[in-house]
A and B are shown apart, each in its own frame.
Chain A
Amino acid sequence: MNVRDIFHSMDYGPAPESASEAMDWLASHKGMFGHWIDGGWTKAGKTFDSRNPATGETLAKVSQASQKDVDAAVKAARKAQKSWAKDAKARARVLYALARLIQKQSRLFAVLETLDNGKPIRESRDIDIPLVARHFYYHAGMAQLMEDELPDREALGVAGQIIPWNFPLLMLAWKVAPALAMGNTVVLKPAEYTSLTALLFADLSREAGVPPGVLNIVTGDGAVGQMIVDHPDIDKIAFTGSTSVGRKIREATAGSGKKLTLELGGKSPYIVFDDADLDSAIEGLVDAIWFNQGQVCCAGSRLLVQEGVAERFYTRLRARMDKLRLGDPLDKCIDVGAVVDPVQLKTITDLVDGSDGEVYRASTPLPEGGCFYPPTLITGLQPADRLMQEEIFGPVLVGTTFRTPAEAVDLANNTRYGLAATLWTENVNLALDIAPKLVSGVVWVNATNLFDAAAGFGGVRESGFGREGGWEGLLAYTKPRKPLKKIDKVDPAAAPEKAEADTLDRTAKLYIGGKQARPDGGYSRAVWSPRGKLLGHVGLANRKDLRNAVEAMNAAKGWSTTTGHLRAQILYYIGENLSARADEFASRIDAMTGKRGGKAEVLASIDRLFTWAAWADKYDGRAKGVPIRGIALAMNEPVGKIGAFAADDSPLLGLVSIIAPAMAMGNRITVMASEPYPLAATDFYQVLDTSDVPGGVVNILTGSHSELAAQMGGHMDLDAVWSFSSSDLSAVIEREAAGNLKRTWVNHGRARDWAEADSAAFLSAATEVKTIWVPYGE
């Protein structure tokens, strides 16, 4: 085409970004990489090809790590950790240098990322790499502030990190920056499709003064990931990737004591109300589902449009899709690049071909060869259709309609996932009403896919747990300085040879839905005092009693939307009513334990109730300083329905110490009472009954902790399980929790000092941080 022809056609021509610097860097390594361990390269071992998905050409040969390599990396990380953890301000400088280095080499990183991953250069250049630099800047600041702001916390140790191929360097930053800032050392494995920017990062890290062993990069496939997960000398696993692999990691680490954060899949709703700026909402979809070829865990992939505007919206959306330009990812005038690998392309193709919906593929030319899939819209689907439920992880949007805001919320939440949600409306009342009702870790109002280091990111339900970014993200890489002691098993007093029983029988029941309930199984256990006195009987709860308790918690969902002020009053009232019966509780405790600590325990329990009443209206969220005109609100929301095993040793204080924070933060809770000393809990339900606690908010079960641990851990309708039991339940709960990937907080055989409220730990366990982004401007 000559100038005159183009003058008439007004076509976009090619606008290629040069790959030569990136290719030079690969060539300087002879196109062959070992692992980055202890501050240097290992010799390449058994290698595999890293390909450019847009062309199929091999970019480099990357090594498949062996167990020996992983061991060496972990050993180097362990060796380096102590001294790395010593000086937070020195770490700040290293992180600052890394941030600067990313900026200085930004184009090299961007081009290499695009070559390796297939994403448009526009995205790697304007989004990925700037966010990477931002993450290191932000966490340089966190290292600087650590001693002042987190005086009670310290590094976990060695972090094993496994990241996906969709944002290779950005996910590295999300993992490495907070870990290093808090004094951990890391062993990171990039995805096998996209190892190259991680290797470049390692190569350049020398220039930032990262000490040997602090950062270790091992490459390879899932087998290497498993070596990291299973490694006994790793303290924490951070994983971003598919829900199925996340579930396996949850199972594999169960009971190991390794800390775990999982950022998994999603099927995020994208809600368009009829008063929205429809053109902007359509443009938002371009950023939601055609960003990075739709290979985004939080992609707005499930379109929900209000019925009255749906046809017009679809028509305009299809017209917009036709304008998207597919092609060479290195072209600066391209919207959609290549899917990461032929395997992924086939998955997408098969899923779409199997759909019954109305499939519209953008009428935009597809490049020859390479892994390209056209932007696709599938309408006319119902929630029951497979594509409305399953993550496609490609440039495919599925859509359906709704009638009312309430129905929009129901449809949005009708999913196993809970990562992100987007809503469009010009009505501030509607926006601020709907955002908190969406079950997800992130909500974007009139925008989509906004990210920042200051704003927490992460999901609920099967989208995983833990947050990355912000102060909340640091919890995943720190632990309390104070070590916990080993827990002693507390056994019930054995039945005496000669029984002493009261003349009048007193029967403790289970407490479910605000009512006393006989145990479903029809079995009870006698509770003896150490002196051989029969103190009463308690029911042995079974799985059906647990089921009933969860149903009761469902019925009490209104509790989660009550005000903190109201919850405070009820907690105070419980304290007041407990105080009125202090002597009775004290003697009951003494009778069960055979000790004299009852009075002090009751007083501490009343105090604990007052503490949590105080907190009920004070655990404020934050308004995050994100670099947009707008606010990112970090709202502390209740986790939902919690199942808990109370401490065995402190029958009342241990109970109150978990019920009260759960209640204060708006959760509903079902507690297995202290197994050896259950009667304080059954007496306590009478206090609840007289204190205006709505039925179902607190349910109390009695019986064997071990019997119910698997049931509680595996219950699909529980959002979290806590265990402070002196029975060894941690492994079974964590393993069973993999089913719906609920949060767990188990003691791993460590004892808690119930004399302390430890508010920080309970506040964070009893809440989920939801980040609500609200850009504004008129």
Chain B
Amino acid sequence: MPDTSNHPTREGTGTARGGDAHLPQLHEPRNAGMALDMDWVRAAQANTSAIERRAATLPGRRSVKKEYQAAWLLKAITMIDLTTLAGDDTEGRVRRLCAKAAQPVRQDILDALGMGPITTGAVCVYHDMVETAVDALKGTGIPVAAVSTGFPAGLSPLPLRVAEIRESVKSGAQEIDIVISRRHVLTGNWQALYDEMAEFRAACGDAHVKAILATGELGTLRNVARASLVCMMAGADFIKTSTGKEGVNATLPVSLVMIRAIRAYHEATGFRVGYKPAGGISKAKDALTYLALIKDELGDRWLQPDMFRFGASSLLGDIERQLEHHVTGRYSAGYRHAMA
């Protein structure tokens, strides 16, 4: 990691997302990226055992109870990218999902908690569903995120992958979740990874780009750390763990490595890069642990939807049940809450 003086803080010089009224906290400058710094990349370390110990003890160190828990869970909902990425997605299925994104919690529960309306952070779909989702979410302020670049394997021709981004942006996607070429990481070709990421970022234009590292396929936590840094240097607005299709998706150790990379990048450049764990987070309790991890390792600024997202489909249902339990004092049932 280089000395901070090599990377003068550029806070305030990035391009704000003008006119994008859907996301809160618009004043955060976008990550402008930086030249690929191979010294920093190569010096990045990640001690697996130590990282696993930190991750394993975290749930025991942090506990959020009662009204605090309810508030945190509501916050978690606002940070969910409500997702459907299935071969059998249809327009009807996507509209149902969008309706749930706009009204994620039963009104009487919100009332009992004294909360105004909330929505999920985004809806995340394949390219072909973008137009439908944009239409369904009109007026809600909820952005549509499109998975792109030959998701999930990212092995289609590069020009097609870049073109896919442009198409999705044209269709109204405000967030693009790209997948990186894992082979660049596995062969240590950091320059190629950097160039690819920079090209994707350029193709996104004003749309925010989330770089999916597919951490379950990168082999080591050290690779995760290095890939995180390279993608941020190349201008990623978010770094994201997984497509949800790998054998292992978001885990606490992987998250710890990625958010430590985000922290180091912020120390060095002043830019805040967002984080999105995706896949495998389905319990309200897990969501709380993730939020505590973010709070402790990155700070409160990252506990907002412009800096943190859950890529999840079934998490919302568990949170709804927990919220009802908070309100009634009795355990809830799934069918009492609207399905997505």
Using a CB–CB distance below 8 Å, which chain A residues touch chain B?
A: 1-7, 10-15, 122, 125-126, 275-281, 283-284, 312, 323, 332-333, 335, 424, 426, 446-447, 628-630, 775-778
Given contacts A6-B72, A778-B220, A446 and B50 within 8 Å (CB-CB): yes
- Known contacts: A7-B71, A7-B74. The answer to whether A283 contacts B64 by CB under 8 A is no
State in angstroms the CA–CA spacing of A778 and B113 once bound together.
45
Could you say which residues of chain A place their CB within 8 Å of the CB of B285? Answer: none
Our pick among A4, A12, A446 for the contact of B47 (Cβ within 8 Å) is A446
Min distance, Cβ A395 to any Cβ of chain B, angstroms: 16
Interface of A is mostly: loop
**B48 close to A777 (CB less than 8 A):** yes
Q: Which 6 A-B pairs have the closest CB atoms?
A: A13-B68, A6-B71, A280-B50, A775-B49, A277-B47, A332-B63
- The distance from the CB of A290 to the nearest CB of chain B, in whole angstroms, is 12
Query: Are the C-beta atoms of A10 and B72 separated by less than 8 Å?
Result: yes
- Mask, B34-57, CB within 8 Å of A = 1, is 000000000101111111111001
Residue of A nearest to B66 (CB): A13
Q: Which residues of B contact A281 (CB under 8 A)?
A: 50
B303 sits at the interface (CB 8 A)? yes
Contacts of B115 in A (CB 8 A): 3-4, 7
Rounded to whole Å, the gap between the CB of B269 and the closest CB of chain A is: 15
A3 touching B52, Cβ below 8 Å: no
With contacts A3-B113, A10-B303 known, is A280 near B47, CB below 8 A?
A: yes
The yes or no answer to B295 lying at the interface (CB within 8 A) is: yes
Q: Is the CB of A1 within 8 A of B67?
A: yes
Residue B330 at the A interface, CB < 8 A?
Answer: no
Binary contact readout B141-171 vs A (1 if CB under 8 angstroms, 0 otherwise): 0000000000000000000000000000000
Q: Report how far A110 CA is from B221 CA in the complex, Å.
A: 35
A630 to B50 CA separation, bound complex (whole angstroms): 11
Which of B49, B64, B116 makes the CB contact (< 8 A) with A629?
Answer: B49
A-B contact pairs, 17 of them (CB 8 A): A1-B67, A2-B114, A3-B114, A3-B115, A4-B71, A7-B75, A14-B65, A15-B64, A122-B61, A125-B60, A277-B47, A280-B50, A333-B61, A333-B64, A628-B49, A777-B49, A778-B48
- The yes or no answer to B23 lying at the interface (CB within 8 A) is no
B260 within 8 Å of A by Cβ?
yes
Tell me, yes or no, whether B207 is within 8 Å of chain A by CB. no
B20 at interface (Cβ–Cβ under 8 A)?
A: no
Distance, CA A447 to CA B53, complexed state (A): 9
Contact across chains for B63 and A15 when beta carbons are under 8 A apart? yes
Q: Verify A15–B70 contact, CB threshold 8 A.
A: no
Q: Which residues of B contact A2 (CB under 8 A)?
A: 67, 114
Q: Interface of B with A (CB < 8 Å)?
A: 1, 3, 43, 45-54, 57, 60-68, 70-72, 74-75, 113-116, 220-222, 260, 291-292, 295-296, 300, 303
- Taking the closest CB of chain B, its distance from the CB of A360, in whole angstroms, is 18
> In the complex, what distance in Å separates the CA atom of A281 from the CA atom of B63?
24
Chain A neighbourhood of B53, CB < 8 A = 447, 775
Min CB distance B95 to A, Å, is 28
Q: A122-B60, A446-B49, A775-B53 provided; 10 other pairs, C-beta below 8 A?
A: A14-B65, A15-B64, A275-B43, A277-B46, A278-B1, A283-B54, A333-B64, A447-B53, A776-B49, A778-B222
Question: Which of B50, B60, B292: most chain A Cβ within 10 A?
Answer: B50
| B43: chain A residues within 8 A (beta carbon) | 275
Whether A6 pairs with B50 at a CB distance below 8 angstroms is: no
Chain B facing A: main interface SS? helix
Q: Are A12 and B52 in contact (CB under 8 A)?
A: no
Contacts of B52 in A (CB 8 A): 777
Kindly report which residue of chain A lies nearest to residue B295, judged by CB atoms.
A10
Q: Are B46 and A3 in contact (CB under 8 A)?
A: no
Which residue, B1, B45, B52, has most C-beta atoms of chain A within 10 A? B45
Among B1, B45, B295, contact of A276 (Cβ-Cβ < 8 Å): B45
Q: Which residues of chain A are near B46, meaning CB under 8 Å?
A: 277, 280
Q: Cα distance A776–B53 when bound, in Å?
A: 12
| CA of A603 to CA of B47, assembled, Å | 57
User: Which A residues are in CB contact (< 8 Å) with B45?
Assistant: 275-278, 426
A312 engages B1 (CB within 8 Å): yes
| Contact A426 B47, CB 8 Å, known A333-B61, A777-B52 | yes
The smallest beta-carbon distance between A114 and chain B, in angstroms, is 14
Instruction: Please name all residues of chain B whose beta carbon is closer than 8 Å to the beta carbon of A15 when the two chains form the complex.
Output: 63-65
> If A3-B114, A283-B54, A323-B296 touch, does A13 touch B64 (CB 8 Å cutoff)?
yes
State A777–B113 Cα separation when bound (angstroms): 45
- Whether A12 contacts B75 by the Cβ 8 Å rule is no
Closest partner residue, chain A, to B296 (CB atom) = A323
What separation, in Å, do the CA atoms of A629 and B260 have in the docked complex? Answer: 23
For the complex, what is the distance from the CA of A271 to the CA of B89, rounded to whole Å?
55
Partner of A3, one of B54, B61, B70, B220: B70
* Whole-angstrom CA separation of A7 from B65 in the bound complex: 13
Bound together, the chains give a CA A281 to CA B65 distance in angstroms of 30
Highest count of chain B CB atoms <10 Å: which of A3, A125, A281:
A3
| CB closest residue in chain A, given B223 | A778
User: How many whole Å from B52's CB to the nearest CB in chain A?
Assistant: 7
Enumerate chain A residues within 8 angstroms of B61, measured Cβ to Cβ.
122, 333, 335
Contacts of A630 in B (CB 8 A): 49
Q: Which residues of B contact A122 (CB under 8 A)?
A: 60-61
A277–B220 Cα gap in the complex (Å)? Answer: 14
A775 partner residues in chain B, CB cutoff 8 A: 49-50, 53
With CB as the reference atom, state the residue of chain A lying closest to B1: A312
B2, closest chain A residue (CB): A312
Q: Which residues of B contact A125 (CB under 8 A)?
A: 60
How far is the CB of A504 from the nearest CB of chain B, in Å? Answer: 71
Chain B residue with the shortest CB-CB distance to A126: B60
Closest-CB distance, B137 to chain A (whole angstroms): 22
Complex Cα–Cα for A451 and B60 (A): 18
Residue of A nearest to B70 (CB): A3
Contact assessment for B113 and A10 in the assembled complex, using a CB-CB cutoff below 8 Å: no
Report Cα–Cα, A13/B48, bound state, in Å: 31
Contacts of A778 in B (CB 8 A): 48, 220-222
B-side contacts of A312, CB under 8 Å: 1, 3
Taken together as a complex, chains A and B put the C-alpha atoms of A2 and B113 apart, in Å, by: 8
Q: Return B105 CB to nearest CB of chain A, in Å.
A: 12
Contact across chains for A6 and B296 when beta carbons are under 8 A apart: no
CB-defined contacts of B72 to chain A, threshold 8 Å: 6, 10
Complex partner residue of B54 from A275, A280, A446, A628, CB under 8 angstroms: A280
Bound Cα distance A630, B291 (Å): 30
